[in-house]
Amino acid sequence: GFFGFSPGKVATGDSVFVFLGGEVPHLLRRTHKENEYSFVGECYVHGLMEGEA
């Protein structure tokens, strides 16, 4: 597992994504629609910053 921080409200089931070419991970939340997510915000995950993923 990894240790991280996120601004705002994090909910059970939220997912951390690292996008190709991105320097920081992002926190996304599933919506009620299949294969759709809403953007929660950027987050810090130790070991996944600055292209380390």
DSSP per-residue letters across 7-42: SS---TT-EEE--TT-SS-EEEEE-SSTT-EEEEEE
pTM above 0.75, yes or no: yes
Q: How far apart are CA 28 and CA 47, in angstroms?
A: 19
- Residues 1-53 have pLDDT tens digits of 788 888 778 999 999 998 888 888 999 999 999 999 999 999 999 888 776 66
The partner residues of 26 in beta bridges, in order of sequence, read: 17, 42
The pLDDT of residue 53:
65
CA 26 to chain centre: 3
- A 10 A CB-CB count for 30 gives 14
Domain positions in the chain: 4-45
